[in-house]
Amino acid sequence: MAKKALLYVILIVVAIICAGPFFWMLSTSFKGSENIYEMALIPKHPTFANYVGVVEFLQLHKYIWNTLYMTFFGILLDVGFASLCAYPLAKFDFYGKKLIISALLVTQILPAAAGLIVNYITVGALGMMGSYWAVIIPSSVTVFSIILFRQAYFSISNEVLEAARIDGASEIKIWYRVMVPQIMPTVSTVIIFDFINKWNNFLWPIIVLDSDKYPIAAALNNLKGAFNFQFGYIAAATIISIVPIIIVFVFFQKNYINSVAGAVKG
C-alpha cells in the first residue's frame, strides 16, 4: 500500500512539472500589463483584455478558419487513404509486399525537412502554390497512419473476410463495411495524432502560402514583432490555439486509450 501511494505521489509531481508551462501560460494570459512579469501563478487582478486585444488585432477568426479547413481535409484524406492502403498490406498476399512494407518503414527514419524541396517542386508543378491544397496534399497520407491501420487489421479474423466474399461483397465494400467499423479505436488514435500535427503545422505553410492564408501556428509567429514582446497577447493567442487540441483529445480519448492498451498488450 505504501509503495502504491508513493507511486501516485511521484506521478502527480511529474504531471505537475510537465503541466507547469501550460499553467504559467494560462496565468499570464489573464495578467494585465502592470503585473505581466510577476511570477505568481494566480494573477491578482485577472482580466480578459489580452484575449480581446489579440482577437481584434490579429483577426484570429480568419486564421482559425484557415487551420480548421486544412486540418479537416488533411485528416479526412489521411484516414481514408491510409486505412485503404493498409488493407491489402495486412490481408492480401502479393508479389513485392515485403519490399513495399520495408520501403515505408525506411521513410520513417528520414527527417521531415528532407522532403521540403521535392514537395515544393511538386506543388509548384501542379499549380497549387498559394492555395490551401498546397498544405493539405503533401501530408494527405502518412506512413505512420498506414502502419497503425495495418497493425489494427491483423486483429480481424480472416474468416470474417471470407464470409463477406462468399456473400458477394466487393473488396471495397468489405473494407468500409467490415474492416473500418472494427478498428474505430485506431481511427480515433490517427485522428488525434493528425489533428495535433496539422493544427500545429508551422514551417511548410509559411513556405507555400500567403500570410492571409496562414494556419494559426504560423500566424502566431507574427505576434513577436507585432506586439513588441507583449507576452500577455502571445499567451492568450497560444491558449486559444491549444483549446481545440484539448477538446479533440477529450472527445476521442476513450477509443485512443483502448487502441494504445491493445497495442501494448499485443
> Are the CB atoms for 137 and 70 separated by under 8 Å?
no
Grid coordinates representing 139 are 501530408
CA distance 209 to 122: 15
Amino acid at the residue 260: V
Instruction: Give the model's pLDDT for residue 208.
Output: 93
Q: How confident is the model at residue 265 (pLDDT cuts 50, 70, 90)?
A: very low
Model confidence at 7, pLDDT cuts 50, 70, 90, reads confident
Q: Check residue 42 and report its DSSP letter.
A: S
Closest CA to 91 of 12, 155, 166, 1: 155
Classify 85 in phi/psi space as left (phi over 0), alpha (psi -120 to 50) or beta.
alpha
Note the pLDDT of residue 264.
42
Is the pLDDT confidence value at 165 over 70?
yes
Cell of 94: 502479393
- C-alpha 245/C-alpha 248 separation (Å) is 5
pLDDT digits (tens, 9 = 90+) for 74-111: 999 999 999 999 999 998 888 888 899 898 888 888 88
Q: What is the mean pLDDT of the chain?
A: 84
> Residue with C-alpha cell 509548384?
124
Q: What is the pLDDT of residue 171?
A: 85
Record: fold of 62-265: MetI-like fold (1.10.3720)
Distance of CA 203 to the CA centre of its chain: 15
Q: Which amino acid is at 184?
A: M
Check residue 29 and give its pLDDT: 86
Q: Looking at residues 189-204, what average pLDDT do you find? A: 90
171 — phi, psi (to 5°)? -65, -35
pLDDT of residue 160: 86
Distance, CA of 115 to CA of 204 (rounded, Å): 11
Amino acid at 37: Y
Q: What is the pLDDT at residue 23?
A: 86
Say if residue 15's pLDDT is above 90: no
Q: What is the pLDDT of residue 52?
A: 86
Q: Which residue has the cell 487489421?
A: 153
Tens of pLDDT, residue by residue over 211-233, are 889 999 888 877 665 455 677 88
Give the phi and the psi of residue 155 in degrees, each rounded to 5: -80, -10
